[in-house]
Each structure stands twice: as C-alpha cells, then as structure tokens.
Amino acid sequence: MAESDSVSSVTDASWQQTWGSQEFIERWASKGGWQAPIREAQTAMVLRMIPQPLDAAIRILDIGAGYGALAVAVLIERLNATAVCLDASEAMLKLGKERNADLRDRMSFIQASLEAPDWVSSVDGSFDAVISARALHHFTANQRRRFIFQEVFGLMRAGGCFINADNVRAPTKELSQRYRSAREGYLDRFIRQSSDGKTNLAEVRAATPSTFHGPHNNGYLDEELAWLKEVGFVDVDCFWKFATTVVYGGFKS
C-alpha cells in the first residue's frame, strides 16, 4: 500500500502544533545540530548492528522516520538495500521526499500513526531490519511502546533485527543530574574545540530556535529490554549508551 488514509492519524492538539505543523517541521529540520557528535555515534552503532552482509538486498523499515535521516544512512552504506519510511507527519514525509529525491527508487514514504496498532496494515510485506531514531520515546501511554515492539516483531523476517536509537529515563534522580552534567560537559568541550574556542554550548543553544514538543515519555532501559525479550526477540541488549542516549534492540531467530 502506498500512502494510506485508511489507518489512524494523530488528532491530539499539541501534536498538531508540533509534528503536525509545517512551520514547526521547517524549524526543526533547519536547526543546527549541536548534538551531532552524540547522534553520529548513535547512528554509527545502528549501522554496525545490522547483521546481514553489506551487499545483501535487505529491506528496511524506519518507524517515526521523520525525513528519513537514519534510513538514508543505511542506504548510503548498503547499495542494494531499500527502505520504507513511516511517520505520522505529512510535513515530515514531504520533506523526506524532497530531500531524498535522488534515492526515490530505493526509498518510499508512508503516513501512519504508531499510536494505534493498525499502522501495520499500512506497510506491505516483511522486513530484514526495523530501525528507529529518537521517536519511540513519544509512546508510553498504555504501554504503547510495549505493543509497538510486538507489532514490529510480527513484521520482521527470520534473522532480522530491530534497533532503536533513542533516549531512556535515568534510573534515579542523582543519575539524571549526573548524566545531564556529563552530556553538557562533553558537548561544551566538543563545541569549544571544533570552533577553535570561538563559541560554546550555552551560546550555540541560545542561538538555536526552540523546537520544544512536550515532555518526553522515555522508559527505563531495563523495562524496554524486558519487553523485547517478552515478545520473542533474542540477543537483546543495549548495544551502545552515552548517559541517557541509547541504541538497543534484538534479533529474530
């Protein structure tokens, strides 16, 4: 199925003002990447954990794909791979098609909301890898993410992987503060060094337009991993972690 209007869409008002808004998406997509060094390491680990040989003609699904940044990273490294990018935001998908016009033969975009299980009916066939970046922390209501894991498992081929590059909740208040200060210290140092001392994190942040989009409903890492095991994934682990930024996932036997 191509783009579908037969599956649930997001109707929440605050969502419509953020991911549902063309203006918000343009601001989000144009802002400087001051978290780039963390994001790059996270993406690199996703790429390394996909088990199939680099020249395999794998089919991937990126959920909460935005304009497809993570899927594109896979397609650049795997020339025989194809990707389906799923997101609820029409504006994001439009941007994805525009930005990735050169990959149009290997990349398709589907509009569907992960809030309801019927999103699975919007995608055809099965996948060798299901990936996601910085999107699934939006879903904790009624343990929605737990069910998303189950739905993903059902779409995967044997030998496939599910890899989520996301944020998790620190287990304690003390660790939350410690992680925050470790992350800020690291980014501040990176920005000072890469700008030859001309700027720092506070200045870059002050100059970056706000794209606040409501509280993140991150889960606890232990719980996320337990949910993956419960569904049937094997070799479940957190593959990479920096403070509360993680890459975790599992494989289908």
Ligand X SMILES: C[S@@+](CC[C@H](N)C(=O)[O-])C[C@H]1O[C@@H](n2cnc3c(N)ncnc32)[C@H](O)[C@@H]1O
Which residues in this chain contact ligand X in the complex, by CB under 6 A?
10, 19, 64-66, 69-70, 87-89, 92, 113-115, 133-135, 138
Name the residue nearer to ligand X (CB basis): 48 or 189: 48
Query: Sheet of 156-167: strands edge to edge?
Result: 107-111, 82-87, 59-63, 127-133, 156-167, 245-251, 234-242
- We find the least distance from the C-beta atom of residue 207 to ligand X, in angstroms, to be 20
The answer to whether the CB of 198 falls within 8 A of the CB of 190 is no
Q: How far is CA 162 from the centre of its chain?
A: 11
The answer to whether the CB of 169 falls within 8 A of the CB of 219 is yes
Name the residue nearer to ligand X (CB basis): 63 or 191: 63
Q: Among all residues, whose Cβ is closest to ligand X?
A: 66
- Other residues' Cβ atoms within 10 Å of the Cβ of residue 50: 22
Rounded-to-integer distance, Cα 43 and Cα 45, Å = 5
Name the residue nearer to ligand X (CB basis): 115 or 128: 115
- We find the least distance from the C-beta atom of residue 6 to ligand X, in angstroms, to be 15
- We find the least distance from the C-beta atom of residue 161 to ligand X, in angstroms, to be 17
- We find the least distance from the C-beta atom of residue 171 to ligand X, in angstroms, to be 23
Name the residue nearer to ligand X (CB basis): 21 or 176: 21
Rounded-to-integer distance, Cα 63 and Cα 67, Å = 11
Name the residue nearer to ligand X (CB basis): 89 or 244: 89
- We find the least distance from the C-beta atom of residue 67 to ligand X, in angstroms, to be 7
How deeply is 117 buried, as exposed, middle or buried, from its count of CB atoms within 10 A (0-12, 13-18, 19+)? middle
